[in-house]
Amino acid sequence: MLNTKKRDLANDLIKEAKEVLEIEASSILDLIPRIDKEFIDVIDAIYNCKGKVIVTGIGKSGIVGKKIASTFASTGTPAIYMHPSEGLHGDLGMLGREDLVMVLSNSGETEEIGKMLPVIKRFGILLVVMTGAINSSLAHSADFIIDISVKKEACPLGLAPTSSTTAALAMGDALAMVLLKKRGFKEEDFALLHPGGILGKRFLKVDELMHKGKEVPIVNEKTSMKDVIVEMTSKRLGVTGVIDNNKNLIGVITDGDLRRALEKFDNLLQKEAKDVMTTNPKWITNNSLAVEALHKMESFSITSLFVFKSVPNGYPIGIIHLHDILKAGIM
């Protein structure tokens, strides 16, 4: 009997969870017919905004507003979130005449936001209201209205904001993604705004990680192997480039080359760099992605590449080592 009760309880809980998802999914689908001219007008207003988008809302709407502002900012639309209470105590000073204010309020009667309206209107700032009550006082004050009303909340008590916040969040994403496309925002742009993320690291250039100037290990082809070893040891990269008298890179000496030379020559220290070097050293351009350098190293089973601006003519401008790439978090 006890196991039967547990099973029935589990089934009831599963049923409840599924109903929540069904209700919220339905609330999002109900938004699709509302993607109309008013929506496009909002897109145009935000796109043409010469200032920033200030998103505001209180309670759960405020939490959604923070996410919308964050998504805007990370996809090319300058935006910040302002808490209504903080706005009434000084933060309204962040408003500029070229800004646009987006308010989230399911009821459309949020007291704190209502108190901010005179200041917003005094500045002549465009007001976009995202609300579930298109006939509310807040909606009547708006320049643009986005209807995010839902048939019912997923909360069985009909009290906790659930479907309504999900709808607001989804509509915010729709706005952000359409703006992204309208701006021609690319993967590289996203990476630029997320330098600490994995995507940002993927777009690091060789020039940003390579060793330059005196850090580049270089010897002349006639340099004694004794001095070659000193150069390799002092630069701590396990490699040195070899140049001719015209300062053209003609070879490379690695730790592996040294080991092989020790087996080949009894008098290694009396030999010159040209006797030990490997010709046709691998290279890459400074504007190449660091991830490309990593792939090239892997394909040739090497740990470093000399860097040139375009083609491997003349003196290299740098060297990039496998450790530099791994240290930057590129895998």
- DSSP per residue over 222-255, as a string? T-BHHHHHHHHHHHTSSEEEEE-TT--EEEEEEH
Name 320's bridge partners: 305
Are 62 and 123 in a shared domain? yes
Please report, for the domain that includes residue 266, its CATH number.
Answer: 3.10.580.10
Are 71 and 161 in a shared domain? yes
Total-model pTM: 0.67
Q: How far is CA 276 from the centre of its chain?
A: 45
Rounded CA-CA distance 207/218 in Å is 18
Rounded CA-CA distance 126/149 in Å is 22
Rounded CA-CA distance 246/70 in Å is 54
Are 170 and 230 in a shared domain? no
Please report, for the domain that includes residue 146, its CATH number.
Answer: 3.40.50.10490
pLDDT of the residue at 185: 80
Task: Indicate the length of the chain as a whole number.
Answer: 331
Q: What does the block give as tokens for 56?
A: 């505001």
Name 54's bridge partners: 80, 101
Residue 149 in any domain: the answer is yes
Boundary-marking domain end, from 150, 185, 220: 185
Rounded CA-CA distance 83/63 in Å is 10
Contact 195, 290 (CB under 8 A): no
Residue 6 in any domain: the answer is no
Helix, strand or coil, per DSSP, at residue 95? coil
Strand order in the sheet with 126-131: 79-82, 53-56, 100-105, 126-131, 144-147
Range of the domain at 154: 16-185
Rounded CA-CA distance 118/121 in Å is 5
Residue 197 in any domain: the answer is no
What's the structural domain count of the chain?
2
Residue 40 in any domain: the answer is yes
Are 43 and 73 in a shared domain? yes
From the list 53, 259, 256, the residue with the least C-alpha distance to 144 is 53
Q: What are the mean pLDDT values of the chain's consecutive 10-residue runs (331 residues total)?
A: 75 91 96 95 95 94 95 91 90 90 94 90 93 93 95 88 95 95 78 58 84 94 93 93 93 92 89 93 92 91 91 86 87 68
Rounded CA-CA distance 242/237 in Å is 14
Rounded CA-CA distance 87/54 in Å is 11
Residue 177 in any domain: the answer is yes
Residue 108 in any domain: the answer is yes
Are 148 and 281 in a shared domain? no
Are 295 and 146 in a shared domain? no
Rounded CA-CA distance 91/68 in Å is 19
